Amino acid sequence: MSQVRRSESGLPIEPVYSATSLAGWDPQAQLGEPGQFPYTRGVYPSMYTGRPWTMRQYAGFGTARESNERYHQLVRAGTGGLSVAFDLPTQMGYDSDHPLAHGEVGKVGVAIDSIEDMRVLFEGIPLDEVSTSMTINAPAAVLLLLYQLVAAESGVAGAALTGTIQNDVLKEYIARGTYIYPPKASLRLISDIFAYCRTELPRWNTISISGYHMAEAGATPAQEVAFTLANGIEYVRAAQAAGLQVDDFAPRLSFFFVARTTLLEEVAKFRAARRVWAHVMREQFGAKDPRSMMLRFHTQTAGVQLTAQQPEVNMVRVAVQALAAVLGGTQSLHTNSYDEAIALPTEKAARLALRTQQVLAYETDVTATVDPFAGSYAVEAMTEDLQARIHELMDTVETMGGAVAAIERGFQKSEIERSAYQVARQIDSGERTVVGVNRFVVTDEEPYEPLRVDPSIEAAQAQRLETLRRERDSAAVHRALDELRASAAGTGNVLGPLKIALAARASVGEVCDALREVWGVYTPVEVF
């Protein structure tokens, strides 16, 4: 008798599914129609039959000028949305000349120190035509306001801007580590962003609640969704505690998930996530606006599954992962470049990644009909199984007092680390096959020449900051920073004074330091 195969979430996969696999299953209650509660079949009635998903490419490296050139290349290649990668100092709220920034400037994303850099980053980009996603968390408000200020300079009003800031700090405490402030202050800042964007940037997605980084750290699909939705519940509660009505901000919430090569489970995961969130928003928070119940999400193919060995094989992995995202009903998609396990993607590799999406959209028939997997015995049964496991994990988080309390106890982090360890052991033992790594290995691979970031960027950014500080109105900057500190110490919305400080040419590090002085910094609890 053959051993039962299990999914990435540890759930059994049956060799054959049939009608008996769905005994007692109610298609009307569990599925509904596309664009209708509980949105299992997609958040819009027509899905891709009307138009394809937004094709994003995540890019940003070195200086703002180099990244701007890559954005123009992507726009010419047909991308409909830009996704900005920021370097680690920017993500942590440090200027490029800060001692802690040494050696990291421009390495994993673009260095943005002030409004001057943001102007260069988007020079010549039609911000009223391109949707921009910014992968930034603790300093999300800072980068969003810089974007708004630069758009206004080019005559684009806030009401015309579309895009997303990641702005999900809770997952930073769980899986990634680019946090600044303690949870309470971080949740206040996020609530302030919700309130600000409601009037100033009404089409902007104010948060992208992310499971992607948890998956990259080793979370199973069930853990990825459960911990992400638990974080979403925490953000909704924080916004309500700040006096916001759920239907005033929930329609602008969005999510961010991974797409793995395990296509069937990934499709089931996306379907289960939509269904769970719809019920949470309607039954737990009393949402009335249908848009508040829709789980709209961006997907990125799984970087953690890319290999440095035989990197060309990653093209196949990315195509399968992208297909899983599309069949799962994603609203936007980034496809990784095949060389990203080695270094920053070359222009040719980035273009090929975009072409992968375009082939799916325009050369296959997956856009011809809504929800092709509806009624599949296998996918529907796997969706039911995943939903049960997601609820189980969410209930555990809730019994601990919610996502923040569970984070402080190290629950999510320890669960993810346990899963990651199990996968590593399976790869080492050969129980799990990774093509080119532990099976089908070649020993005579041709050398690959990666894209490299010029180390002189750090000195150039430091020089730009020195010039900025010398030429700006220092008295105006100091007054604005004092106002920002006072606002942070009070209860008002900090985005107003923050915007004034940035417009006065305060640097990213200076405004983040002002908030650090008032709110402090987060120190993680060690879990043994």
For 256, which DSSP code?
Answer: E
Percentage of the chain modeled with pLDDT above 90: 88
* pLDDT tens string 2-31: 578 999 999 999 999 999 999 888 988 899
Q: How far apart are CA 386 and CA 262, in angstroms?
A: 14
Q: How far apart are CA 132 and CA 56, in angstroms?
A: 9
Q: How far apart are CA 521 and CA 516, in angstroms?
A: 6
Q: How far apart are CA 389 and CA 225, in angstroms?
A: 10
Q: What is the mean pLDDT of residues 254-266?
A: 98
pLDDT at residue number 478: 98
Q: Are 71 and 124 in contact (CB under 8 A)?
A: no
Q: How far apart are CA 440 and CA 438, in angstroms?
A: 7
What are residue 59's phi and psi, to 5 degrees? -150, 150
Q: How far apart are CA 88 and CA 39, in angstroms?
A: 37
- Residue of 510, 517, 507, 522 lying closest to 485 (CA atoms): 517
Percentage of the chain modeled with pLDDT above 70: 98
pLDDT at residue number 449: 73
Residue 4: CB atoms within 10 Å: 9
| Measured torsion, CA atoms of residues 395, 396, 402, 407, in degrees rounded to the nearest 10 | -150
Q: Is the dihedral of CA 66, 67, 68, 74 positive or negative?
A: positive
* pLDDT tens string 361-399: 999 999 999 999 999 999 999 999 999 999 999 999 999
Element at 131 (helix H, strand E): strand 131-135
Buried b or exposed e, range 367-387, using 16+ CB within 10 angstroms:
beebbebbebbbbbbbbbbbb
The answer to whether residue 528 scores a pLDDT higher than 60 is: no
* pLDDT tens string 102-159: 999 998 899 999 999 999 999 999 999 999 999 999 999 999 999 999 999 999 999 9
Q: How far apart are CA 141 and CA 183, in angstroms?
A: 16
Higher pLDDT, 377 or 81: 377
Q: Are 341 and 308 in contact (CB under 8 A)?
A: yes
pLDDT at residue number 2: 56
Q: How far apart are CA 143 and CA 71, in angstroms?
A: 17
pTM assigned to the model: 0.93
pLDDT at residue number 346: 84
* pLDDT tens string 428-453: 999 999 999 999 999 887 777 776 77
Q: What is the mean pLDDT of residues 452-477?
A: 93
* pLDDT tens string 330-367: 999 999 999 999 887 888 998 999 999 999 999 999 99
Model confidence at 526, pLDDT cuts 50, 70, 90, reads low
pLDDT at residue number 1: 45
Q: Are 237 and 189 in contact (CB under 8 A)?
A: no
Q: Which two tokens stand for residue 387?
A: 């939903």
Q: Which domains, and CATH codes, for the chain?
A: 50-429 (3.20.20.240), 472-519 (no CATH)
Model confidence at 77, pLDDT cuts 50, 70, 90, reads confident
The answer to whether residue 527 scores a pLDDT higher than 70 is: no
List Cα–Cα distances, 39 to 210, 231, 314, 495, in angstroms.
19, 20, 32, 34
Strand order in the sheet with 297-301: 204-205, 163-165, 131-135, 81-85, 54-59, 332-334, 297-301, 253-259, 207-210
The C-alpha angle 254, 122, 48, rounded to 5 degrees, equals: 40
Model confidence at 80, pLDDT cuts 50, 70, 90, reads confident
Residues pairing with 253 in the sheet: 207
Q: How far apart are CA 272 and CA 211, in angstroms?
A: 14
The answer to whether residue 408 scores a pLDDT higher than 80 is: yes
Kindly report whether the peptide bond that precedes residue 202 is cis, defined as omega within 30 degrees of 0.
Answer: no
The answer to whether residue 524 scores a pLDDT higher than 90 is: no
Counting Cα atoms < 13 Å in the Cβ hemisphere of 376 gives 17
Residue 218 three-state SS: coil
- The amino acid occupying position 396 is T
Q: Are 89 and 457 in contact (CB under 8 A)?
A: no
